[in-house]
A and B are shown apart, each in its own frame.
Chain A
Amino acid sequence: MEKAAAVLENDDLKLRLGLPGTDEPEQQSSSSQVKNNKRSCAEMEIGSCQTGQEQESGAPATKAQVVGWPPVRSYRKNVLQQKRPESETGSGMFVKVSMDGAPYLRKIDLKFYKNYFDLLKALENMFKCTIGVYSEREGYNGSEYAPTYEDKDGDWMLVGDVPWEMFITSCKRLRIMKGSEARGLGCL
């Protein structure tokens, strides 16, 4: 358990600017860490479990997970665990990324990134543009481009508003909008 946690910490420190799929070994070790967490949780009768993965990714500090809460049958948990909503390709969390003015779209694996910083840096690199820094009040005002995404409900949202974990599970596709068009989005 300690060894797996140490691997995760190291991953945190590395900036991932490469294309998705280049760091296979790390991805595999983190998914096996998830498995380790689950196994030990089943054995523990009392206490927290499954906090490791989510907290490391910078999501809001989750409360200690309690055995048997929320009260969902293990059968249901097991079935749904294996079928987390993913894109149609069925592996990884690949979403299309379009940029206004670019001749063709790209695809990235959201699971590959740990937080918004990594994602935005990667997008800037991929499309050779400046996205700038997010602020709650101004959005990405002042920068050339603003990153937006289509969520589960079909609405177009500004990237950065919601916690990272919530974002990756609800993001269906990304669109990097020209700053001029995005003016409305930043000032809600």
Chain B
Amino acid sequence: MCLFQSIMNYFPEEVLEHVFDFLTSHRDRNAVSLVCKSWYSVERCSREKVFIGNCYAVNPERLIARFPRVRSLTLKGKPHFADFNLVPHDWGGYVYPWIEAMAKNGINLEELRLKRMVVSDESLELLAKSFPNFKSLVLVSCEGFTTDGLAAIASNCRYLRELDLQENEVDDRKGQWLSCFPDSCTSLVSLNFTCLKGEVNVAALERLVARCRNLKSLRLNHAVPLDVLQKILAQAPQLTDLGTGSFISDPDSETCAKLKNIMKKSKSIRTLSGFLDVNPRCLPAVYPVCTNLTSLNLSYAPGIYSTELTKLICHCEKLERLWILDTIGDKGLGVVASTCKELQELRVFPSDFYGVGNAAVTEEGLVAISAGCPKLNSILYFCQQMTNAALITVAKNCPNFIRFRLCTLDATVPDAVTNLPLDEGFGAIVQSCKGLKRLSISGLLTDQVFLYIGMYAEQLEMLSIAFAGDSDKGMLYVLNGCKKLKKLEIRDCPFGNAALLADVGKYETMRSLWMSSCEVTFGACKTLAEKMPRLNVEVFNEGEQIDGSPDGRHRVEKMYLYRTLVGPRSDAPDFVWTL
């Protein structure tokens, strides 16, 4: 080791830097920077892509100080449960300070990827005007901006390659943001505006597509009609990723016939999505493209019934990723199982949110998929019911799961056949799937399932729990057993102070812990915060009139704690108390 060390020290820094160039994963680069001071120094000055999983774990100043040559920044804001309305509005996660700081310090930002952050039009305008080489903006589940902000991006980012808006809440001002792309803009490679609700200038869209010869990915919104889609496709045979707009037409019309012909020529399309508005009788137009598809997202297409779905899927033998609604039914999943032998990722979303008994999919569909698709490694499955026997079979058939998320529509439903808890089923999953990194469990569950998780889920990084367990033991099994745990989110479980305080050091090895509607008290949270200065322990008090110091025995409704290098944040709203 000493010999190695001295040899390495003979190399000029440029050589080290060149070697580090081959390390693309931020985890590898983090590991490298821990080796010694000189490696830390070389690495930090050469790192161009920075990933920050919790925007409040550090701050913009530290980012810039450590990584002056950052070109691509990924930031995540709100906790995951914000997706399900559990985090109050105005909690935080503002991107503006980051953009402002980078602009002031002359950072050469080219890429910005944000998830669950609040993005104002002001931030977009500042972004657009401050970074002349800006190329790529990806916003996932963000909010706070309007189409005016998009207009600023379109107008000012001369070398824009990617504008990818996924599932954002955007205020559509019905302006002409798309027309703001100047005629000189020919660099677009990826454009996704599916989540926008308003009309776009279709003439401007057609011209934009015609002049961007490198456009590979185009996802339209529902306001773009079928005849425009057909014209666009004719101009862009090089597309590999298509999201349709409105897919409604008279199936006997010339438009539909033209579309089918164009689809035959679109040999490069590998990813298909859209169909929010759809006339299922027009679907055969896309069959020519299905043979080469590797990724298909029909989870926003409730207008396609089971029979038409399965007819479509029958053509998709190369499918690796499939996102659908549970309207496909168990029978339909059987068709998937027998057709899609290359399937790696499956997501089955609920079409009916009130659980009124629309028997959608059950354990049968899941078992069929596990038996038919040997390469399956990632699943999200919303189902009416489940059984231990089914889960045990699935575990045997598919030992390669990396992500396994099962969601029963009734949160505490027992095994549909035996009426027992689903502990054994999930136990089989964690025991068999040695590489499991992400797990979500549901149904009737006791402390036993957590014993299994703690014992077997050695690679587990993220765990989501709701309405499960009997006592603190459950949470303790997990905290003690899962050495690689990064994110733990718990709601409506009987876990309390004993579990929370048993191993306070553990939380510094994790990114975050969320607990809501559990048995944790204010006093315990305070104790934890006092013992661990490098954690922010946030407690949310909405609608509670508490004057002065609340009673330590008072149960806390929502608690979110995370490790941080920069202490309590300054932008927390009134109802968030950082203890």
Given contacts A76-B349, A79-B300, A154-B307, contact A62 B169 (CB under 8 A): no
Complex contacts, A85 vs chain B, CB 8 Å: 302-303, 305, 327, 351
Contact B85 A67 (CB under 8 A): yes
Given contacts A65-B354, A170-B358, contact A72 B306 (CB under 8 A): no
The closest CB in chain A to the CB of B492 belongs to A66
Q: Does A74 contact B (CB under 8 A)?
A: yes
Complex contacts, B306 vs chain A, CB 8 Å: 152-154
> From residue A52, how far is it (CB to closest CB) to chain B in Å?
11
Interface code A21-39, partner B: CB below 8 Å = 1, 0 otherwise? 0000000000000000000
Contact B350 A70 (CB under 8 A): yes
Given contacts A85-B305, A88-B279, A153-B329, contact A73 B352 (CB under 8 A): no
Within 8 A of B (CB), among A28-80: 42, 45-46, 50, 54, 59-60, 62-63, 65-77, 79-80
Contact A71 B407 (CB under 8 A): yes
Q: Does B83 contact A (CB under 8 A)?
A: yes
Contact A75 B141 (CB under 8 A): yes
Complex contacts, A69 vs chain B, CB 8 Å: 84, 411, 466
Give bound CA distance, A85 to B356, whole Å: 15
Contact A45 B543 (CB under 8 A): yes
Given contacts A46-B517, A80-B302, A153-B306, contact A72 B357 (CB under 8 A): no
Complex contacts, A86 vs chain B, CB 8 Å: 303
**Which DSSP category, helix, strand, loop or mixed, fits chain B's interface?**
loop
Number of B interface residues in the complex (CB < 8 A): 48
Contact B167 A75 (CB under 8 A): yes
Given contacts A54-B354, A54-B356, A80-B302, contact A70 B276 (CB under 8 A): no
Given contacts A80-B351, A152-B306, contact A165 B84 (CB under 8 A): no
In the complex, besides A54-B356, A172-B305, 17 extra interface pairs with C-beta distance below 8 angstroms are: A46-B557, A66-B411, A67-B85, A68-B81, A68-B85, A69-B84, A70-B355, A70-B411, A71-B407, A72-B382, A74-B84, A74-B169, A76-B299, A83-B276, A83-B303, A85-B327, A163-B356
11 pairs from A and B in contact (CB 8 Å cutoff): A46-B557, A60-B356, A63-B355, A68-B81, A68-B86, A74-B169, A85-B302, A152-B329, A153-B307, A153-B329, A166-B357
* Chain A contact residues, CB within 8 Å of chain B: 42, 45-46, 50, 54, 59-60, 62-63, 65-77, 79-81, 83-86, 88, 152-154, 162-163, 165-166, 169-170, 172
